[in-house]
Amino acid sequence: MEQLSWTDDMMLRAERPETPMQIQMLLIYDQATATDGKVTFKRILEEIDARLHLAPTFRRRLTELPGGLHMPYWVDDPDFDLEYHVRHIALPQPGDWRQLCIQVARLHGRQVDLRRPPWEMTVIEGLNAIPGVPKGSFAVSIKLHHCVVDGMESVELMAAMHDLEPDGPRPAPPATPFAPGPLPSTQDLVARTATTVHRRSWESPECIARPRRRAVAILADHAWSRVPRAPEPTLAQN
């Protein structure tokens, strides 16, 4: 479990339907360079599935404290579904630049679901009338929320998705299989946050530390109020 940084949290809080805080990448591939000259959607899914462990971003989702008391945490998604995140569509013919740009704009205009790992990938076929693009090529539109992507995250994702050679071997599988536990409870999140705030309060100047220590007390009270209480004992009636 990892807490968002202040800057990433700022990107998350700025999210609005009219101003989605996400970035878009568009990659175009010539499938003639593949070993057998053809790339199927099933093969793309298999390749991505074999590389998910190379970038933790693929399978992490956000979990928030009640009322937005503090910055959210990244946790492994116990309900991760690769086929939700990777979709497949085709452009209407003739498949020119205008149609590709309209389709990418539509994809970008839809907000990512922040209840899941905040990324989507769409394989787009039918690029048959784009000057300079070999016939039969396909595009991949990748959409990620800004809270998950910085410069190094982008490099990590691109490196995880690609090989330097068209016939390179798949990466070695992870030493341990992906086995996420259940999402953390409210008590777990509040306790972890209280500990973090308490530790940082003693590392800060007094003008910052005093309100932080008060925040610890509020969080502790909130956590205690949610602990189940044992029933009050009653005297037996004769």
Q: How far apart are CA 90 and CA 223, in angstroms?
A: 50
Residue 106 CB-density burial (10 A; 0-12 exposed, 13-18 middle, 19+ buried): exposed
Q: How far apart are CA 138 and CA 29, in angstroms?
A: 6
Residue with tokens 């205009």: 109
On whether the CB atoms of residues 100 and 127 are closer than 8 A, the answer is yes
- Sheet arrangement for strand 137-145: 22-29, 137-145, 119-127, 86-90
For residue 102, the tally of other CB atoms under 10 A from its CB is: 12
Q: Is 145 a catalytic residue?
A: no
Q: One of 53, 85, 146, 222 is an active-site residue; which one?
A: 146
The four Cα atoms 113, 156, 14, 1 give a dihedral, to 10 degrees, of 70
Q: How far apart are CA 39 and CA 33, in angstroms?
A: 10
Q: How far apart are CA 114 and CA 119, in angstroms?
A: 9
Q: How far from 146 is each of 21, 80, 154, CA to CA, in Å? A: 6, 20, 11
Residues labelled catalytic: 146
